[in-house]
Structure 1
Amino acid sequence: MRTLFTLLLMLSAAALSSAADFRIETRVYAAGESEPVSQSVTLFADGIAYDFRDRDHRVTIFRRGMGSKPGRFVLLDTNGERRTEIGGERVAVVMTKLQRWAALQDDSFLRFVGDPKFEESFDASTGELRLVSDQLSYRLVTMPVANEEAMKELRSFLDAFSQLHTLLEAGLPPGPRMEVNRVLARRSVVPVEVELYSGEIDGEPSLRADHLVTWILSQQDRAKIDLANAQLAEFEEVDNAQFRGKPGHVLALDHK
């Protein structure tokens, strides 16, 4: 099954000729900081998303599912030359359990992230989108998406990656970010600036992110994808616990 998935990743262009190809470069800043705390480049090609985080020697490859079938991740450790696979259905099970747990907590913030409710406003003339609550709020500057297929690719990746990040970092339920993704898709826009506030929108954001979106891939981008696909085929496959590389510390999805 895993070998088959690898072949499907490498040969998917033939089956997904209508997929959109584009790139998003992201820089994330902590409050009051001028240097980014995180940088990434995400390339979308032939129905597959490739997220490159060079500082962490990590490439995450995501292929969205077809119909009711969930998507699937492959994580590459370019320093250790290892790879591991994570099925979307297993991620979804963990997220459902996490959401149910949050809903039963006494803490109002935990209940909110388990089932977020925002007051939404959108200025079509400026592209500014606000999602506001007394627990957590977002201010986004957006631009129209290039086409419907690009929106599908982006929404699928953002939802899946938000859940994966929660899983890998043992974080809080990704409900707020998932709701942002839902609103972006409904309005057919993509974010170019994002500000996250603790509580309502006032003062300095807790985090901010800049996104440079380009609706075409360069030759250098194609070369990065080719290298990632070669590494996908060549790297040693290990289980999730081995990939994490910390004795006694396994990914949440390894717990039954």
Structure 2
Amino acid sequence: MELSSVVTPLYQFHGMLFCFTAVFFAGARLSTAQELELRVETEIFSSSNDTPVAHSLTLFRNGITWDFLDTGMGSNQEEIIVHDPNRERLVVLDTGLKIKTELNTIRLQRLDISLSAWAQKSSDPLMKWAGQHDYSDMLEVGETVIKLDGPRVHYDVTFTKNNNPKAVAVYRQFADTAILLKALMRPGGLPPFPRLAINRQIEKVCGIPSEVKLSISPKVPLVPGIQMRSTHKTHPQLIEGDISRIETASAQMSVAELIELDDFIHRRLKQRAKD
């Protein structure tokens, strides 16, 4: 499958992964959010392909989260998201275009309200279903699996229990923020509310997923649906090379051109059309 055919669902799915990816070890240093040091390495697969279509590395250090997404679109093409919850700030960097955009979490909170209202007015049963906030009666929670079914869509999350609820809560803060950011930057996809509901349930049972599956059936016959799967490898501390990667990203951020979000999205779409 050509990468261009999975870019949109890929980004939607990658946004969902922030709900799911961390497998927190009890030995992780996490008496407070600022003391967290953790790395999560994720591979994303499309359909039944055994070759990942994207790879992401998420690093937690000193109360800040650095997320590096490589879609394989070129050695210089990488998206880096920096989340600083203490300052309620997000920065998104495109290393290839050397541009960045900043926004605060209040804008994402407003998106939550407007996106739900828009989806509820849709004539598409799937979009309307995904625009609601309460899925408590629809979630199927097992010992190691959480499932959620809607019109043409199925979520299947395999998880393991974790005995550190503080770790789960800290990651969920980043997870929810990242999901809404993806919805803001790449509109037109499935609303994030089913994923947020699963995230809430996962926190309730202190379970951290090890594999996530998402399938969306097509509206009409003979048209391919969407099948996405992710696997996750987690380490309770950063490893050699992680600090230098953060330092390199910080240097790239400092020299990148700061532009408004709309311009940032436009330039990236224009570049992808060339690719």
Q: TM-score, normalised by structure 2?
A: 0.72
1:56-205 pair list within 5 angstroms: 56-65=77-86, 71-115=88-132, 117=135, 118-123=138-143, 127-145=144-162, 147-170=164-187, 171-198=189-216
Q: 1:108 to 1:242 in 2, by over 3 A?
A: closer
Greater displacement, 229-238 / 165-174 = 229-238
- Which residue number in structure 2 is paired with residue 9 of structure 1? none
Alpha-carbon offset, residue 193 of structure 1 = 0.4
- Structure 1 segments, 4+ long, off by >6 Å, are none
CA distance in 1, matches of 2:240, 2:33: 19
* 5+ long unaligned stretches in structure 1: 1-15, 250-256
Which amino acid letter does the alignment assign opposite residue 109 of structure 2? A
SS at match of 1:172: coil
Which amino acid letter does the alignment assign opposite residue 89 of structure 2? R
Alignment equivalent of 2:59, drawn from 34, 43, 63: 43
Q: 1:244 to 1:132 in 2, by over 3 A?
A: closer
Which amino acid letter does the alignment assign opposite residue 202 of structure 2? L
Alignment equivalent of 1:208, drawn from 222, 229, 236: 229
Alpha-carbon offset, residue 184 of structure 1 = 1.3
Alpha-carbon offset, residue 247 of structure 1 = 9.6
Superimposed CA distance per residue, residues 234-255 of structure 1 (whole angstroms, 9 cap, x where no aligned partner): 3332222332343998xxxxxx
Identical aligned residues as a percent? 26
CA distance in 2, matches of 1:48, 1:207: 28
Q: Which has the higher contact order (CA 8 A, sep 6+)?
A: 2
- Which residue number in structure 2 is paired with residue 233 of structure 1? 254
Contact 1:195-1:205 within 8 A present in 2 as well: no
Which amino acid letter does the alignment assign opposite residue 121 of structure 1? V
SS at match of 2:158: strand
How many positions carry a matched residue from both structures?
223
User: How large is the RMSD of aligned CA atoms in angstroms?
Assistant: 2.6
SS at match of 1:101: helix
Q: Does 1:25 align with 2:41?
A: yes
